[in-house]
Structure 1
Amino acid sequence: GLTVTKTGKGTFVVANKVANDLTLGQYSARDLTEARPHIEVPAAGLAAQRRTHEELETLRHIVAAMTTETDPESWVALDSSFHAAIARASGNKVFASVVADIRGALAFQSETLNMVADRQHASDIEHQQILAAIEAGSAEAASEAMAEHLRAVGVALDSILNK
């Protein structure tokens, strides 16, 4: 399995690594990496066009909380909430349902990446860029910012899988 060593606490198995893939709850890292761009990139674009004032406030609150969050588990929960909130703000019930369905696996992936690849700060910056594009109402910029975020997550996953 994939392990992480924490000073003073020991070594922990954080995910099962099988044939260059990670099992993240119900789905594998490969499953998520292949599917997310087809769901979350268009969802971000639609969210920029369709989000309500309340949905925008929710996204602002989540991003602000993430940048100051020091507890890894709380940050992971906020990360999942951010992605789910964008899917809901897209106004597309299929996108919202799919992201809700994969939320547990997304949290597992996020937690693994933060423990092994220290992605939290980079993700915070990427989330701020996604939010700025959604605030500006730019579907193109929001889609591109989400695509860039998912590419960076994919690179981090590849670095773990190829260790």
Structure 2
Amino acid sequence: MTAQWRPVRQSRTHELVLESIERQVLAGELKAGDRLPPERELAPALGVSRSALREALRVMETIGVLVANVGRGPDAGARIVRNPDDALGRVLRLHLALGSYGLEDVLEARVVLERSSFEAAARSASEEVLAEAQELLGRMREAEADVPLFNELDTAFHVLIARASGNRLISTLTSAVRESVRTLILQAEEGAEDWAATAAGLNAEHEELLRLLAAGEGSAAADLVERHIRGFHGAVVGDREGGAPARETPDP
């Protein structure tokens, strides 16, 4: 099915351009991988200025549904993509910074999402996923002295398990929620009084989580990941909101 471009109304022009593109995506006339016509063709087809068109395309890039490659050749131009993870994380991080959500809200969302993903992953995780998770944990043990790298690998472990749940939306939301508090968690890790002991404790919990997944013990894995999250994330909430830390043993 070929996309049909029609002029749009002039009020709030870039929003109307977005609506036009959205309609074509919903109608199946545009799909992931499709390229938009060049600006010099698309702007007059929609009856808008090229500046208004560019504004709409920038918005689409921000929300992770478009990638624009500058230059010439087969890879140049704007292309529809499916890349919600990073975009959703950026948006959520900004809303958290603006006070739209509290850290306690994010904590509870993380608990709900990861309980679900670990329980599902215990049923569906493949040998390849379990091996990849084990490799990540090995790298985390080696990176205990490198806090930023440890934080990065920790995030990768939790997102991997979310993907292994088989639910792509849960995976995306888990990644976004974790990304929204990444900087706060990293700051708390770097400020830990005894980071070596904390990192060793976290790695021990990660190892037990992976053991429970491999054994298919989803309910036990869900319970442990909740305790695991409430430890460090709960301490961050307590520190930032003036309350007491949720647990003595922190966890990112």
Instruction: State TM-score, norm by structure 2.
Output: 0.51
Q: Which residue of 2 aligns with 1:43?
A: 117
Q: Which range is displaced more, 89-98 or 114-123?
A: 114-123
Contact 2:185 2:233 in 1 (8 A): no
Q: Secondary structure at the match of 2:203?
A: helix
The unaligned stretches of length 5 or more in structure 1 are: 1-23
Using the TM superposition, give the Cα deviation of residue 129 of structure 1 relative to its aligned residue in structure 2, in angstroms: 1.6
The amino acid across from 1:124 in the alignment is: N
1:57 to 131, 140, 143: 131
Between structure 1 and structure 2, the one with the greater Rg is 2
Q: Distance in 1 between matches of 2:181 and 2:157?
A: 11
Who is 1:31 aligned against? 105
Name the SS of the counterpart of 1:91 in structure 2.
coil
The structure in which a higher percent of residues are helix is: 1
The DSSP-based 3-state class of the residue aligned with 1:137 is coil
Equivalenced residue count is 140
- Distance apart, 1:158 and its partner CA: 4.1
Report deviation, 1:160. Answer: 2.0
Deviation at 1:110, TM superposition (A): 2.7
Gaps of at least 5 residues in structure 2 are 1-91, 97-101, 244-252
What amino acid does structure 1 have at the position aligned with 2:169? Answer: V
Cα 1:34/1:103, change in 2 over 3 Å: closer
Structure with bigger RCO (C-alpha 8 Å, 6+ apart): 1
What SS class does the counterpart of residue 187 from structure 2 fall into?
Answer: helix
SS in 1 for 2:166: coil
How big is the shift at 1:130? 1.1
Report whether the alignment pairs 1:88 with 2:167. no
Q: Give the TM-score, by structure 1 length.
A: 0.76
Runs of 4+ in structure 1 over 6 Å off: none
Q: Tell me which protein shows more strand as a share of its residues.
A: 1
Distance 1:122 1:160, change over 3 A: farther
C-alpha change, 1:110 and 1:85, in structure 2 (3 Å) is same
- Per mean C-alpha deviation after superposition, the further-off stretch among 76-85 and 101-110 is 101-110
Residue 228 of structure 2 corresponds to residue 149 of structure 1: yes
Q: CA deviation at 1:154?
A: 3.8
Report whether the alignment pairs 1:108 with 2:183.
yes
Matched residue of 1:34: which SS? helix
User: Amino acid of the residue matched to residue 136 of structure 1?
Assistant: A
**1:135: how far off?**
1.3
Percentage of identical aligned residues = 25
